[in-house]
């Protein structure tokens, strides 16, 4: 694509400032990599100095941006979102899959395929599966018995969707993910671990996107449920009977134990771990590497191991960061009091 700065500004509802809107833009890049003729964006204050050194011809900046930069500014409400909109215009055309069944695919009995479905090489669709219109099943993917997939789903290569799983419309599942594997349930009896049957299923609602190498376990009974619009990053583990509400964000390496419930618009940052049988309220945010051992009220921000409300976490962090100085003061106090003072407790 090739467009003027004025044309790009109109596309995202932006205002041109600090340069010529007639300059043509031929590509997009990050602040660190952008060169003349390209557009970048400024969405984080920590990159201000990099932006001032940047060689891009144009930059998307917040509407209240007041710094001097060499690039022509396009002032918008949300530079990151505007950049995503423009990026679509410069991106290569999406891969298009021809409808039909590849000769190497294996299709079971009583399988229902909607109009425009594309089954790629070596895919396996087992008996009784239902695939909605315009859905793509990637190479070497597996759809188990009586699984149901809605319209316009994109199942990338090497995905496993086990028996009786239910996917809504426009669900994207990236390579290596397994949906519907057995939940991890055992009872210890007579000196050994006895497996508890996992007879439930997984339900994934409309417009969910699931990254690579995610595992979502089937319920012990009932369902494991991922609700509408939720986005799951790579390498996430969701255990049996978990409910994830609408429009949640689960970042890489999150682990959710069995029967925990997340409300709507919850954010779990990278490497967060949740114990089982707790609830995370609507719009709560759990900071990276936190370990959550009890329920979190709606709209609160929690951090740490064990996770605490952000105010308590910041206080504890401040105290911890002062331990070295406190230790020095205690030693000085011991010197003042005298080393022979028997009232002081022995040093452990």
Tokens representing 34 are 């952008």
C-alpha separations of 81 from 25, 58, 68, 88, 305 in Å? 18, 16, 22, 11, 33
C-alpha separations of 275 from 51, 261, 305, 313 in Å? 42, 11, 12, 19
**Longest CA pairwise span in the chain (Å):** 90
The arrangement of strands across the sheet holding 160-161 comes to 106-107, 124-125, 142-143, 160-161, 178-181, 215-217, 237-238, 255-256, 273-274, 291-292
User: What are the catalytic residues?
Assistant: 240
273 forms bridges with which residues in the sheet? 255, 291
Q: Are 16 and 9 in contact (CB under 8 A)?
A: yes
Distance CA(320)–CA(315), nearest Å, equals 9
Distance CA(80)–CA(259), nearest Å, equals 35
The beta-carbon contacts of 16-24 under 8 Å, at least 24 apart in sequence, are: 16/72, 16/73, 16/74, 16/75, 17/72, 17/73, 17/74, 17/75, 18/68, 18/69, 18/71, 18/72, 18/73, 19/58, 19/71, 19/72, 19/73, 20/72, 21/72, 23/57, 23/58, 23/72
Strands 112-113 and 72-76: unpaired
């Amino acid at each position: 694509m090739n467009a003027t700065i004025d044309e790009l500004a109109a596309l995202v509802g932006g205002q041109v400032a600090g340069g010529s809107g007639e300059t043509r833009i031929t590509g997009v890049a990050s602040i660190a990599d952008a060169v003349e003729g390209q557009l970048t964006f400024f969405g984080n204050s920590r990159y201000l100095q990099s932006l001032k050194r940047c060689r891009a011809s144009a930059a998307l900046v917040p509407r209240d941006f007041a710094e001097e930069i060499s690039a022509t500014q396009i002032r918008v409400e949300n530079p990151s979102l505007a950049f995503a909109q423009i990026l679509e215009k410069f991106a290569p055309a999406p891969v298009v899959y021809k409808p039909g069944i590849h000769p190497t695919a294996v299709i079971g009995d009583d399988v229902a395929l909607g109009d425009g479905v594309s089954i790629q090489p070596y895919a396996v669709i087992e008996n009784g599966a239902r695939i909605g219109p315009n859905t793509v099943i990637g190479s070497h993917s597996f759809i188990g018995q009586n699984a149901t997939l809605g319209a316009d789903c994109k199942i990338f290569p090497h995905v496993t969707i086990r028996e009786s799983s239910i996917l809504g419309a426009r669900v994207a599942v990236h390579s290596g993910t397994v949906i519907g594997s057995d939940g991890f349930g055992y009872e210890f009896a007579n000196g050994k671990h006895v497996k508890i049957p996992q007879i439930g299923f997984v339900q994934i609602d409309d417009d969910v996107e699931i990254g690579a190498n995610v595992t979502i376990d089937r319920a012990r009974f009932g369902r494991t449920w991922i609700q509408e619009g939720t986005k799951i990053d790579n390498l996430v583990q969701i255990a049996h009977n978990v409910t994830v509400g609408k429009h949640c964000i689960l970042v890489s390496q999150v682990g959710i134990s069995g029967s925990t419930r997340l409300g709507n618009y919850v954010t779990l940052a990278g490497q967060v771990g949740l114990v089982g049988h707790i609830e995370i309220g609507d719009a709560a945010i759990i900071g990276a590497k936190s370990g959550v051992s009890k329920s979190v009220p709606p709209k609160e921000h929690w951090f740490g191991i064990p996770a605490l409300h952000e105010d308590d976490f910041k206080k504890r962090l401040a105290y911890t960061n002062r331990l070295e100085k406190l230790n020095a003061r205690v030693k000085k106090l011991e010197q003042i009091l005298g080393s022979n003072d028997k009232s002081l407790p022995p040093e452990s």
